[in-house]
Amino acid sequence: MSATVETQTQSLEAWVRLLRGHSATVRELNAQLTADWGLTINDYEALLLLSRAEGERLRRTDLVRNLQLTASGVTRLLDGLEAAGLVDKAHCESDARVTYAVLTDAGRTKLKDASCSHVAAIRELFEARYSTTELETLADLLGRLPGAPATAGDCTAP
Amino acid sequence: MSATVETQTQSLEAWVRLLRGHSATVRELNAQLTADWGLTINDYEALLLLSRAEGERLRRTDLVRNLQLTASGVTRLLDGLEAAGLVDKAHCESDARVTYAVLTDAGRTKLKDASCSHVAAIRELFEARYSTTELETLADLLGRLPGAPATAGDCTAP
DNA sequence: AGATAAAGTTTGAGTGCGCAACCAATTTTA
DNA sequence: TAAAATTGGTTGCGCACTCAAACTTTATCT
């Protein structure tokens, strides 16, 4: 009985470790991406989101939502991407508060170049370890936690 | 066919988002812990590891391994815990290179106090969303990725 | 012995990010 | 139509963490 509680307690804290345990994996992906292409994962994801958005442009708030970053985080992220010439600013005519981030030609090219090895890395990471149904299960389970992205495979979905 | 590949590509990148999507959740837990007890999650985990280690002491390298932090990260983490009087330094007789981190009485008490609400928060997070078997599945699946902790519920296991 | 490699720890510099505070534009209320 | 509340975006600051480079103590090779 006391053993049960002990085990409970112990494993409860282990769930957090389980959840956190993959920051290392993500860091690894990030390291590859930065080394090979000078992009952080967030850079990459931002470019990806833009490339899929209509007109290849997105408001900063949309990026906040989709990248799960704060507004200031997005500002600085875009600072970098703008400095690198991968995105541009554009103003909204109907609402002077909003600034769009627009993918440049260079950005589109960069994304295309980088995606090749990045996607390969992700594939290696996941497809080597999980079957299709397991991936679905994982997506289902992880998707239940708060703050999870909408559904796997769907980001802005025009 | 091209559709298949497209979908593949899209979801592949989504897996990363899925994996990263929970930093917010962890941050939430962290915020609670800091607000209520002045401990970061890593502080907490370090104390927890120490409390379960034999002699309530651990070499720094062991903490590096178990906390998934770099050596310098552990140094600074312990700096904080030492300053707060929650752990002490101790030297190893057989190997003059190693320094132990030892749990103090204050540390033990602090951990015990904090664990109550922390464990409750974790329980709420997980038990509300998953059945026992689902938790096992999740642990199994996540445990396959590189850098995952040994097995759920097992940290240093004397 | 003396050189040299190896292991553990610390320090310095830099990065990514959130938080709080702020400005500016817009919508709501009265 | 003026005041109040909300929303989009930026800036200053601090924290946690990594990486690279220094020491320091111990083990190994000649």
Check residue A1 and give its pLDDT: 37
pLDDT for residue B19 is more than 90 = no
Query: Could you tell me what percent of chain A has a pLDDT over 90?
Result: 58
Strand C proximal residues, A:64-103, Cβ < 7 Å: 68-73, 76-77, 80, 95-97
Confidence check: pLDDT of B105 > 70: yes
Closest-CA distance, B147 to chain A, in angstroms, reads 6
Scan residues 56-85 of B and list those with Cβ closer than 8 Å to A: 68
Residue-wise pLDDT for B46-86, tens only, equals 999 999 998 999 999 999 988 989 999 999 999 999 999 99
pLDDT band at residue B104 using 50, 70 and 90 as cut-offs = very high
pLDDT greater than 50 at residue B2: no
Rounded to the nearest integer, the mean pLDDT of chain B is: 83
- Please write the tens of the pLDDT for every residue from A42-68: 999 999 999 999 999 999 999 999 999
Three-state DSSP at B131 gives coil
* Cα distances (Å, whole numbers) of residue A8 to A2, B33, B158: 10, 20, 18
Which nucleotide is closest to A96, CA to C1'?
C25
State yes or no: pLDDT of B127 exceeds 90.
no
Q: Is B137 on the interface with A (CB under 8 A)?
A: yes
Q: Is the CB of B71 under 7 A from strand C?
A: yes
Q: How is residue B130 written in tokens?
A: 């998953």
- In a structure prediction context, what are the per-residue pLDDT tens digits for chain A, which is 158 residues long? 333 333 444 557 888 888 888 888 888 899 999 999 999 999 999 999 999 999 999 999 999 999 999 999 999 999 999 999 999 999 999 999 999 999 999 999 999 999 999 999 998 888 888 888 998 898 888 888 876 665 443 333 22
* Closest in A26, A125, A129 to B20, CB measured: A26
Residue contact B130–A141, C-beta within 8 A: yes
